[in-house]
Structure 1
Amino acid sequence: MRLDFEFGEVLAFVTVAQTLNFRAAADRLHLSQPALSRRVEKLEAALEMRLLERTTRKVELTEAGRQFLNHAVVILEELELARASMVARASRAKQLVTVACVPSVANHVLPDILRLYAQTHPGVRIRIIDESAGKVLDAVMEGEADIGISFLGAQNAEVDFIPIRSEPYVLAVRRDHPLAAAAAARWDSLEAERLIAVSLNSGNRILIENVLAGLPRRPTIHYEANHVAGALGLVSAGLGVAVLPGLALANNAYPALVGIPMRDPELSRTLGLVTRAGTRLSQPASALHDLILRKIGE
């Protein structure tokens, strides 16, 4: 059912009905008296009834006007409640920042950054999506995450990718392993090791597979885990060695393990800060974006 009158016309009528004075109502609504009169007349025409009796001396409500006023006041109050509710909802949404990042960042880098962020933005809620690089990129492009920290997206026109750190890959071994004291590990030496790898769905695995494919003799993968943490658990148990990003061993998270730089060839990934192209971040998200850029880039 279509209404043939507008919000401004209802507001004009209610203001006149409450003041019983066209000049006072016009001043309150910042309208000229003729413009105010036209709005009331259009409402009366749409309702096909007279709401106000006006003479040169006074303005009075008709019986129909008194009845409609009761409904109109309720309508305006409900609209104001709806407006206030939407404003509050928008404000709450601005106080939630979602960060999508690869697990190594979520485990070893982000907590310290969020501790600093909480000192200046104590009321902001943070949601973390710790997933593979591909899923981090998807979360940003689909608008699920405000900010992404990943090593995919540099060539994607749908996102803005700001490089913040080059991270070398290392060979994770137990401290009692014969290679633990080596200055570097060669890829062709992995043939003699029981190799532990992450899932083929992982961005890390894709980079590693590119190197393994170029070796004269490909090492055998004895164990496979979905995530870096699972692979490190297997290494800690003495089941083999794993090529992983150096960040996975940051902050002495695995005291029993050591990371040996990989050589011939060296392998690294570029971590970047990812946002959806053309998107303007909220103030809380922008502040976190700048803090991440500053701290990870140190």
Structure 2
Amino acid sequence: MTLKQLKAFLALARTLNYANASLELHLSQSALSLSIKSLEDELGGKLFNRNTRRVELTQEGKSLIPYAKKLLANWDEMENDVKQRFKLNRGTLSIASMPFVTHAILPEVIHAFLIQHPNLNFSIHDIPNETIIEKVQDGIFEIGICFEPDLSEGLEFKALFEEDFLALLPKSHPLASSSAITWQQLFSNPFVTLQKPSIVRYLIEQNCLRNEMTLDLKVECHQISSLSSFVAHGIGVSAIPRHFAKHIDQQQNVLLELESETIHKTVGIVYKKNFEMSNISEQFIDALLQHKF
């Protein structure tokens, strides 16, 4: 059953006249007759009784009218919806993102994007770095924002910015007035950091091992914003991604440069190689690449 057949059926059912239905559809009467006959052949019986004087609907033809109208309405709705999506007037973009990027980066980018495309919606999924890569590979998300993967088989990666770390100390700490401290000085204190699995936690632990020190972990939590509250109360110190710095309460905490900073990771957009993305995703990737971080 085709769209052309349904339109032919409804036009003839409405006019009960081949000449009038043909004019309405801009078809010849022979083409209209062929569409009706092919539809009847597919369904297995007559939809119209015809004679030299008039056309009448059969009972089966009458029963088809509400279904045909519903199918055409659904088709029109689908066509309009897809056109609106291509014009970025409708749609929801789901993004997998590292929590610190969600908090520190995405609000500003999405705000600017929605000014240009106010009818779009976003669904942000805060998940660990490694999970982002897996879910993009599995096709669950079109795009993810994460650290550059070591193994990127089947993936494309576009860099957004370089990330390093700052030391986070309470204002009451003896080193709080320093201009910079070393990782060794930082690791010699009780530590507050994120729970596993967390790429931030992993990078800090790896750096601790490189410095041949042991992490004296006092508190672990899920969010960097929570972490800074524990530091503010003097429970420990921490290290945070630089791009999160403006979200730290600096009435209670201080942020210091880390001498000989050894953690440098590229944050970017990851998506499947040779995957034909939606127009919304392509436009948002362009917005991310043009944003000044």
* TM above 0.5: yes
Which residue of the partner structure matches residue 280 of structure 1? 277
Could you list the per-position Cα deviations for residues 14-41 of structure 1 after superposition, in whole angstroms to 9, with x for gaps in the alignment?
Answer: 4345445545544544555444333434
Q: Partner of 1:255: helix, strand, or coil?
A: coil
Which residue of the partner structure matches residue 59 of structure 2? 67
Q: Check whether the contact 1:147–1:275 (CA below 8 A) recurs between aligned residues.
A: yes
Name stretches of at least 5 consecutive residues in structure 2 with no aligned partner.
none
**CA separation in 1, counterparts of 2:218 and 2:248?**
26
Q: Check whether the contact 1:102–1:133 (CA below 8 A) recurs between aligned residues.
A: yes
- Spell out the pairing of 1:36-51 with structure 2 (5 A cutoff): 36-44=32-40, 47-49=44-46, 51=48
Alpha-carbon shift at residue 271 of structure 1 (Å): 1.1
Query: What is the letter of the counterpart of residue 279 of structure 2?
Result: S
Q: Partner of 1:213: helix, strand, or coil?
A: helix
When normalised by structure 2's length, the TM-score is 0.80
| Equivalences, count | 287
The structure having more radius of gyration, on CA atoms, is 1
**CA separation in 1, counterparts of 2:44 and 2:252?**
82
Query: What is the letter of the counterpart of residue 279 of structure 1?
Result: E
Alpha-carbon shift at residue 286 of structure 1 (Å): 3.6
CA 1:17–1:294 in 2, change beyond 3 Å: closer, same or farther?
closer
CA 1:71–1:218 in 2, change beyond 3 Å: closer, same or farther?
same
Name stretches of at least 5 consecutive residues in structure 1 with no aligned partner.
none
**CA separation in 1, counterparts of 2:158 and 2:288?**
11
Which residue of the partner structure matches residue 256 of structure 1? 252
CA 1:8–1:163 in 2, change beyond 3 Å: closer, same or farther?
closer
1:110 and 2:106 matched: yes
1:166 and 2:158 matched: no
Alpha-carbon shift at residue 146 of structure 1 (Å): 4.6
Query: What is the letter of the counterpart of residue 64 of structure 2?
Result: A
Among 174, 181, 195, the residue aligned to 2:177: 181
Instruction: Please say which of residues 193-202 and 15-24 is displaced more in the overlay.
Output: 15-24
Q: Partner of 1:106: helix, strand, or coil?
A: helix
- 4+ runs of 1 displaced by more than 6 Å? none
Alpha-carbon shift at residue 174 of structure 1 (Å): 1.7
Q: Partner of 1:279: helix, strand, or coil?
A: coil
Among 203, 218, 222, the residue aligned to 1:222: 218
Q: Check whether the contact 1:16–1:22 (CA below 8 A) recurs between aligned residues.
A: yes
